[in-house]
Amino acid sequence: MTLPRLLFLAVLLVPASVSGQGGERIVGTVTTRAGEVHEGALRFEGGAAARIDPLTGRSAADAEWEDRVLASMGAEVDARARSVEFLGVRITWEDDRGPSGSPRTALAVGDLESLVPDSDGGVQATLVGGERVDFLDTFGWVEVEPAGGAVVRVEDDDIASIAFEPSGAAPDASARLAGVVEDRWGRRWEGPIVWARGQSLSTDSLRASDARDRRRAFAFAELSAVEPVFGGGARVSTADGSRYELEGSADVERSARGVRVNDPVRGVATIPWVDVRSATFGPPLESSRPAPVDRGPLAGAVRARDGRVLTGRIHWGDGTRSRWGYLSGYTRSVAVEVPLRAIERIERHTSKGGRLHLRGGAVLELRGGDFDPVRGPLVVESDTGSLRVIEWRAVDSITFEVADGSGVDAG
């Protein structure tokens, strides 16, 4: 999620004082503009093919919310003129996206009920329970794998709607590519995998040239491991015990986009290819399961460094205020998006970083991303509707409330 730059500017001007295993496939129905209906297991252009996989895109700014926040900070807002004046500085914007631009929003597919393209080239996403998020772009093509039939690709311009099934029961569908990726610091990330070119199914292929300059293609189902080789290329091991040295493709070279792992415990990790030590393939462990379904408002207690405790609904800058959202940051070179509902408590680690205590006991330290001051402040909305704004550098800790109302004691 991306936090408003305008709110950040305003703060600067103020003087300081899913049940099932991680690989459970997406199942749904794609209806085309021509009236064709395709049912089966789905895979999106970016690689999302499991219910815990996120779809990420630019979402429409909530201008009404931004007006409320700015007004609570003493700004004079003129929404009709698309401008705001604060401490003698007037800022204007030219379109309907609002002063913060277009924040990036991620939604797990398992939280979605439907996607419907709109007339402006975007998509209306409806979550289970009825909440709606408007995206400014589409998510590209969608492949449908019907039971016992051939895969059909529907281009984004041809999609009229996508309706999702509440479970991922697709026994005949291609398996979601999954396994364990170890980074060069020895950390192991386990779960559904998206390879460099978007390969996310066991039937997808890794392509490269061998030592004799012959082009080779291996279905990921044939592979047991891939180990990058210093200087370029990779050592590939197959399930039958064979080993190959491969090079010369976007799948195994330093120019590769990297490997994305949707770790059900810690979130979605994107590991640069140069920092991958090894990848081993296999089904997710039985213990690797998505966070419990919890789509309610993001609420809890924010303890400030000066001793104040602010309780209520928590808005992370861009207005994100539901547990279906994600918190982004970096751990070394690895970019991580952590589901907010998986976080129990956050402690301020630095002025640009936090220590996340996850439900289940894992601890993850992140820097930058949503902790960077450029992303804007936090806003706590009380039960009476009043808004209190606090910069991350002034926060000591945040304790999130869970579905049963527990976990709000900030002491």
Return the percent helix, strand and coil in the chain, to nearest 5: 10, 45, 45
Q: Which helix (H) or strand (E) holds 67?
A: helix 63-72
Q: CA-to-CA distance for 15 and 20, rounded, in angstroms?
A: 50
Contact indicator for 42, 165 with CB cutoff of 8 Å:
no
- Residue 167 has what pLDDT? 74
Look at residue 28 and tell me whether its pLDDT is greater than 80.
yes
Question: Which pLDDT band holds residue 325 (cuts at 50, 70, 90)?
Answer: confident
Spans of all domains in the chain? 24-61+102-164, 178-281, 290-400
Whole-number pLDDT of residue 139: 94
Q: Give the pLDDT confidence of 235-267 residue by residue, as tens digits.
A: 999 999 999 999 988 898 877 778 999 998 899
Write down the pTM of the prediction: 0.83
pLDDT for the residue numbered 411: 37
Residue 99 pLDDT more than 70? no
Q: Which residues pair with 286 in a beta bridge?
A: none
| pLDDT score of 78 | 59
pLDDT bracket for residue 206 (50, 70, 90): very high
pLDDT at 151: 96
At 21 the pLDDT is: 43
- CB distance 375 to 338 below 8 Å: no
Percent of the chain exceeding pLDDT 70 equals 80
Q: How many CB atoms lie within 10 A of CB 305?
A: 12
> What's the confidence (pLDDT) of residue 102?
63
**pLDDT for position 285:** 53
Q: What is the mean pLDDT of residues 17-32?
A: 72
Q: According to the per-residue pLDDT averaged within each range, which of 8-22, 102-116, 348-362 is highest?
A: 348-362
In this structure, the strands spanning 215-219 and 123-127 are unpaired
273 phi and psi, to 5 degrees? -55, -40
- Four-residue CA torsion sign, 97, 98, 100, 104: negative
- Torsion angles phi and psi, residue 338, rounded to 5: -105, 125
Chain centroid offset of residue 87 CA: 36
- Give the residue, 146 or 403, on which the prediction is more confident: 146
Per-residue pLDDT tens digits for 164-181: 998 766 777 899 999 999
**296 has pLDDT over 70:** yes
**Looking at 62-66, 137-141, 185-189, 343-347, which range is the least confident one?**
62-66
> If you average pLDDT over every residue of the chain, what do you get?
83
The mean pLDDT of 265-286, rounded to a whole number, is 88
Confidence of residue 129 (pLDDT cuts 50, 70, 90): confident
Distance CA 258, CA 274 (A): 8
**For residue 67, what pLDDT is reported?**
75
- Does the structure show a pLDDT above 50 at 234? yes
> Are 354 and 363 contacting, i.e. CB atoms less than 8 angstroms apart?
no
pLDDT band at 295 (very low <50, low <70, confident <90, very high): low
> For residue 315, is pLDDT > 90?
no
**pLDDT for residue 281 is more than 50:** yes
205 CB neighbour count, 10 Å cutoff: 17
Quickly state the pLDDT bin for 301 (edges 50, 70, 90).
Answer: very high
**What are residue 183's DSSP bridge partners?**
276
Task: Check whether 290 has a pLDDT greater than 60.
Answer: no
Strand ranges in 223-296 using DSSP code E only, listed in sequence order: 223-228, 234-238, 243-246, 259-263, 267-271, 276-281
Residue type, 173: A
Tell me the C-alpha distance between 86 and 148, whole Å: 62
Q: What is the pLDDT of residues 35-87, one digit of tens each?
A: 999 999 999 999 999 998 999 988 887 777 777 777 777 666 555 554 545 44
What per-residue string of b and e applies to 210-241 under the rule 16 or more CB within 10 Å gives b? Answer: eeeeeeeebebebbbbbbbeeeebbebbeeee
Q: If 0-12 CB within 10 Å is exposed, 13-18 middle and 19+ buried, where does residue 264 land?
A: buried
Residue 287 has pLDDT above 80, yes or no: no
